[in-house]
Amino acid sequence: MTDVLKRNNVKRFGQGQQAIVFSHGYGCDQNMWRFVAPAFENDYQVVLFDHVGSGQSDQSQYDYQKYGSLEGYAEDVIDLLEELQLKEVIFVAHSVSSMIGALAAAERPDLFEKLIMIGPSPCYINDEAYFGGFSKSDIDELVQTLENNYMGWSSFITPVIVGNPEQPQLSEELNSSFCSMDPDIAKHFARVTFLGDNREDLKNVLVPTLVVQTHPDAIAPLEVGRYVEKNLPKGELIQLDASGHCPHLTAPELTIEAIKNYLG
């Protein structure tokens, strides 16, 4: 196995010619796609991977400077697609991976046919003309709490992220996933995620993109999804009849249906 495939713990399965690549969100890993990815294996080559620092990736490859912005993760995505000799892939991304996918597609549009963003947010912090869902002080407090007590923050935030109290096992699973990360890497990735601003990058994404939105979503509200759609040159938005930030876990059938309808 090459360094790139080992670094990102790449897994492949499926029958099709075209590749569909699933990219997980903050604190998660490729296992979070287990309810969705198998639905595509008859028609596509399915590719799963872990971002460096997450899941079963090669943690020794984590470079604080490289991953000090989302560009470092986007570079990894490009490396991975080149290593697998893939072009015109469908890239399905959750949460922060949506902006990672956007950066990669802006840099190398030849590698992507379509992007599907689930719960994207280009900027979490409100300003005068933009609603991101959080004030600057909210995010500063979140980052400070995370710095001081990562495990406590994790057990508090995961039910908020999942947003489906009738499915507590999913909040527990997400909490376990958060807690399995190296705390220093988790804190660093959180700062990069929550303090970032990728609004200006949206206009550079020339690949057709579906924004999959739930309501309510405490992390990426509906207004944010609408902003992303409006600022993508080829954006389209679908609102699922589901709530919470992880519909691929809480409402996988609706998520699969939305993706398949978009892909035609």
**Residue 11: helix, strand or coil by DSSP?**
strand
Q: Which residues contact 164 (CB under 8 A, 6 or more apart)?
A: 170, 243, 244, 250
* Chain centroid, CA 250 distance in Å: 16
Distance of CA 97 to CAs 68, 117, 252, Å? 15, 8, 18
- Which backbone phi and psi does 125 adopt, to 5 degrees? -100, 130
**Residue 215: helix, strand or coil by DSSP?**
coil
Distance of CA 42 to CAs 18, 46, 191, Å? 11, 9, 39
184 is catalytic: no
Distance of CA 170 to CAs 99, 160, 175, 209, Å? 24, 11, 8, 28
Q: Which residues contact 52 (CB under 8 A, 6 or more apart)?
A: 7, 8, 58, 59, 61, 62, 67, 73, 76
217 is catalytic: yes
Q: Which residues contact 157 (CB under 8 A, 6 or more apart)?
A: 142, 178
Whole-number Å distance between alpha carbons of 135 and 148: 20
Pairing between β-strand 11-13 and β-strand 45-48 as defined by DSSP bridges: antiparallel
95 is catalytic: yes
DSSP state of 223: H
Q: Which two tokens stand for residue 224?
A: 């944010």
Of 29, 76, 201, 217, which is the active-site residue? 217
Of 24, 94, 245, 248, which is the active-site residue? 245
Of 23, 95, 97, 121, which is the active-site residue? 95
Residues tagged active-site: 95, 217, 245
